[in-house]
Amino acid sequence: MNVSRWFSPLRPRFPPPSPFHCPPLSHQAVRGAAKVGVRRRGEGASMAAAAIGRACTYGAFRAAWRGFASVPVKGSCCSYSSLAWAFQTRCSISAPWNVTVQQCRQTSFFNSSTADELWKGALAETGVGVKKGRGKRRKKKLRKNLNKGQEIGEGRSGFLWPGLNAPVIQSGRLQAVTQRKKEERERIQSEIIQQRDTWEKKRKIKVKREGGWSGKCWGGVLLDPPDPGPNGETYEDFETRVIEVKNVFCMKAKEGRKKSIRALVAIGNGRGAAGFAMGKAGDRMNALRKAKNKAIRCLHFIETYQNHTIYHDITVKFKSTSIRMKKQNKGYGLHCHRAIITICKLIGIKDMYAKVSGSKNLINITRALFKGLTQQETHQQLANQKSLYVVEFREEQGPLPIVVALPEGNVREDPEPEDEVPDTKLEWSDVKEAQGMKKSPWANVRRTVW
């Protein structure tokens, strides 16, 4: 017996397809067929074919055989070189001597795994090196939206499916499935290709941003308006500014120091509506997008006096940051910290003085500013609280007072009680300035003469 022919690496040759098909065979059935073929060359081949045919009839061929064999059959052009290859196939038999093997794979790597599992493999998110914190300096791969530009129902065949890419009812009649003309299909495909090329070019173009507070600083940079809302509302009249972009790190048990970007963004329409929020993400643009979309949902309305300044002087403290704000006349401008200037412009405040003492943390400054501005009392609120007229003295009016608010209820007849010792908080810097004691910080510094 020539054993070498049973391990021939040749591929099987297929006869013409047969109309009779059978389900897959079992592992034991094909092993028995192979043993029968090994015993005798002439009779064993026919017995092997009969065994395979019997197994096909009962439908039990499921497992895979890891071996190679060549089974010659008299009167047939079919020669099987790999039983392992044959076990993963479906059989069709037209006669005891004619056997046809057709390869059939029900599942594959792409249709057995979910999209998240495939992306994890492509982006190496679950690798051992990533868990140990290695490869930090390499450029991180980002997930792409492969469905961008795709429309449900659209394809190269150009069919119009009612309810997907065509209306269900048109002119009072129920629409049927139709097909576009060839010229229209070619035009739509060329538009899709052109749109994808435009997206690729936009990705490669480096966007030049408007200058912020300083050259390489993200503070004060103008951003696009927030994304439209769920009901289609747009926020074109709102201006978005970056306050701070900072790298933060979190220590993980498996990944080590994990880096992320934290962005602080303020938004306002210049007419009193303003807000701020923070966003955190793995890259800068996603952090900015999250922050501005969150800020539009956290708006405050801040009252302004004559649309240019605050109603009264404010002293506010948040954690270790203190801000002292003073009301100013028209034309004074904004003499404040640069973050406060940016937020005041978004609110619509044009004239104000502010002094920051303590911590200069931008998050604390932003929270303290909004806390003080939202807690200020308008003239009308003060008049209703005291049940008295609220008057104001101005330089252009001299000693004559100007009534700025009237109480909504009855006016109180007895005046406001005055303390013998006024309870007034004074700043030592203001006292020294009023008494002429304020000197330059360089007054007592010794200057070296060269």
- To 5 degrees, how large is the angle CA 167–CA 152–CA 108? 150
pTM of the model: 0.57
Q: What pLDDT is recorded for position 111? A: 76
Q: DSSP of 49-70, one letter per residue?
A: HHHHHHHHHHT-B-S-------
**Beta-carbon count within 10 A of 20 CB:** 13
- Distant-in-sequence, close-in-space partners of 399: CB < 8 Å, separation ≥ 6: 393
The encoded tokens of residue 443 equal 């007054």
Q: What is the SS3 assignment for 125-162?
A: CCCHHHHCCCCCCCCCCCCCCCCCCCCCCCCCCCEECE
pLDDT, position 115: 82
**Among the listed residues 306, 241, 239, the one whose alpha carbon sits nearest the alpha carbon of residue 273:** 239
pLDDT value, residue 416: 79
CA distance 376 to 333: 20
- Check residue 270 and give left, alpha or beta (phi > 0: left; psi -120 to 50: alpha): left
Distance CA 372, CA 369 (A): 5
Q: Show the DSSP H helices in 242-361 as ranges.
A: 284-295, 338-347
Q: Which residues pair with 353 in a beta bridge?
A: 326, 335
What is residue 151's predicted lDDT score, i.e. its pLDDT?
Answer: 79
Q: What pLDDT is recorded for position 295?
A: 96
Contact indicator for 315, 302 with CB cutoff of 8 Å:
no
- Walking along the chain (450 residues) 10 residues at a time, the average pLDDT comes out as 41 44 46 45 50 48 38 44 45 52 67 81 67 60 75 84 88 89 89 81 61 84 90 91 94 85 96 95 92 94 94 94 94 94 96 94 97 94 91 85 90 80 77 79 66
Taking the C-alpha atoms of residue 390 and residue 380, their distance in angstroms, rounded to an integer, is 8
121 three-class SS: helix
Q: How far apart are CA 48 and CA 71, in angstroms?
A: 8
Which pair of tokens denotes residue 324?
A: 């002292």
Nearest of 125, 147, 146 to residue 282 by alpha carbon: 125
CB 389 within 8 A of CB 413: no
Using CA atoms, how far apart are residues 375 and 192, in angstroms rounded to an integer? 54
Close Cβ partners of 57 (under 8 Å, ≥ 6 residues apart): 22
Tokens of 321: 């940051």
Q: Which of 334, 321, 355 is nearest to 429 (CA)?
A: 355
Residue 344 to residue 332: CA distance in whole angstroms: 14
Q: Which of 207, 204, 205 is nearest to 222 (CA)?
A: 207
